[in-house]
Structure 1
Amino acid sequence: MLLNLTRLLKMKKLPLKIAFLLTVFFASSNLFAQDFQGKAYYISKTTMDLDQFGGQDMSAERKKQIQERMKSFLEKEYTLTFSKSESIYKEEEKLAAPGGGGGRGGFGASLTGGPKYKNVQTKEVIQDQEFFGKQFLVKDELKDLEWEMGTETKLIGQYTCFKATATVVPSGVDFSSFRGSRGRDQKSEVEKGKDSTDSNEPKAPKTIEVVAWYTPQIPVNQGPDDYWGLPGLILEINADRTTILCTKIVLNPKEKESIDKPKKGEEVTQAEYTEITTKKMEEMREMYGGRNGRGGGRGRN
């Protein structure tokens, strides 16, 4: 524990105020024995800009209807079962709303990750994922996040949380690249000129600013989804258009759950899985784009 504290106190830009408080918290961390386990409940909400997907000409009412239909895909509940070194992050299964189209087995299920296992000691991250009927086991190295520690605090429930920020390159499919054909055709001449001029230059990877709120009162460097590496459990994440918020914590439950690594599926790295899913989405875009073109032709005859 002392070694872990020393490493944490050397983190980038760790203010003296936080260092002092962490020393106090970690000094009492013998309450968290080796068999310590906890369970945190999170809600995740994502907003979507329909204008990026050809919705510029939609009425406000139509946009609202689409957002309601996508609610089950954009608003989810998760649990994080964690020990000092391991965690498993799972989506809570729900019955699909009648006519919602977002239930398990539908299009939304193909884009939603399965249980995600993290081990902060061995630096493993493993996720089982079904994508259009095929099972994958996405296995990779847990990436370090360069957190900048702040002094700002706030209460989340009964826990005092500190703010930290990081700039990250998101993994997975970049949906902003799958815009409708109308959106692609409506590029300005300036944009088209820039595209042709810069076509040989490598694109800089998209980055997003992540704001995390963590509590040293639970001295584990775990958190929801891909987030970890802070001197306390992460209770809130704000990343791009997604907010993940902890709503309940149970420490040392009477009945402990096993934290098992996912094992089923074809083993791939995150980069390989992203390539597979991106290629499939490109195929779907071309297929539906072609149908729309044929449909438009029939309508004019």
Structure 2
Amino acid sequence: MKIIYISIFLLCSIVYSQSSGTVSYSFHTVNILEDAKKPQTKDFAKKNIDIANQQVFNLTFNKTKTQFVQIESLTPVSDFDQKLGNVARAGFTSHDIFSDFANGRQVEIMSDGTLVESKNEDLKWEITADTKEIGGYLCYKAILKVPFTNRYGESKVKEAIAYFAPSLPFSLGPKKFYGLPGLILELIESHKTFVVSKIKLSDQELEIDFPKGKTISKEDYEKRLESSMGGVILSKKREKDKNSQSNAIPKKALLN
């Protein structure tokens, strides 16, 4: 493991003349609701997954800022298709995210247009010895434990897997993932994958403009979301508890 860290450090100490760039990522996921009992649920999930799998995102960066935004389609879409696209982004891909590393702040444009501001986190990656080649670049595998809240309101932890290229010494990646000694070329979260499709570096400083408007904190937005979804979460938790009780072995059976 020490050899890996030393080699990565040496590669990242190289000073690139390019201080800006744009990295394009394609997206792929599978239909996790394939076995849904209700046909309308299955059809709705498939439609959203089809939309998500067509979405492409650009990570644009300069010396201090980044923006991770969806590339808008040149083909006009209806309001209904636009809403489906927003649902697909909320459920599968990503909102538009802007990061200012010099000031340690991040702004995310949510599906409802709310600007949510938060601090850049110190991500605790575990770099492994596993490697693979992506687009001609040797990439190392890194793992990150990500805490989240499930649909029952329970606190859980999932893994995010990143493959980063030390030969591209930009500590950046898709969505809110960064902090590795090399550009993330592939990101895997459960059944969802972002993979690089194009890299364009520039020796000119690219402009990155943060969205203008009133922002709210991540904590305040989550409280607002919890209050609006509280009844739904509580209902699902009760449903889970009920199913758990119905599947439990009766006490009489234990005595026999």
- Which residues of structure 2 form unaligned runs of 5+? 235-256
Match of 1:109 in 2: 86
Q: Is the strand fraction higher in 1 or 2? A: 2
> Match for 1:158 among 133, 136, 154?
136
> Match for 2:32 among 30, 36, 49?
49
Confirm or deny that 1:259 pairs with 2:240: no
In percent, how many aligned pairs have the same letter?
23
Residues 275-284 or 142-151, more deviating = 275-284
> Partner letter of residue 29 of structure 2?
T
Match of 1:213 in 2: 163
Confirm or deny that 1:32 pairs with 2:17: yes
Greater Rg, structure 1 or structure 2? 1
Instruction: Provide Cα deviations, 1:20-78, integer angstroms capped at 9, x if missing partner.
Output: 32233134x22235xx1011000123345338xxx74246xx67643432135532210
Match of 1:4 in 2: none
> Match for 2:188 among 234, 238, 250?
238
SS in 2 for 1:118: strand
Match of 2:59 in 1: 80
* TM-score, with length taken from structure 1: 0.65
Kindly indicate whether the alpha-carbon contact (under 8 Å) linking 1:149 and 1:163 is maintained by their aligned counterparts in 2.
Answer: yes
Match of 2:117 in 1: 139
> Partner letter of residue 161 of structure 1?
C
Match of 1:271 in 2: 219
Kindly indicate whether the alpha-carbon contact (under 8 Å) linking 1:213 and 1:235 is maintained by their aligned counterparts in 2.
Answer: yes
Kindly indicate whether the alpha-carbon contact (under 8 Å) linking 2:162 and 2:188 is maintained by their aligned counterparts in 1.
Answer: yes
Match of 1:120 in 2: 101
RMSD value, Cα: 3.2
SS in 2 for 1:274: helix
Displacement of 1:109: 2.1
- Across the two proteins, how many residue pairs are aligned to each other? 229
Aligned mates of 1:121, 1:98 — CA distance in 2? 37
> Partner letter of residue 25 of structure 2?
Y
Kindly indicate whether the alpha-carbon contact (under 8 Å) linking 2:65 and 2:98 is maintained by their aligned counterparts in 1.
Answer: yes
Displacement of 1:152: 1.1
- Which residues of structure 1 form unaligned runs of 5+? 1-14, 178-202, 287-301
> Partner letter of residue 154 of structure 1?
K
1:170/1:221 CA distance change after superposition, 3 Å? farther
> Partner letter of residue 40 of structure 1?
V
1:275/1:49 CA distance change after superposition, 3 Å? farther
Instruction: Provide Cα deviations, 1:119-163, integer angstroms capped at 9, x if missing partner.
Output: 3343211123351xxx32110111121111111111110211111
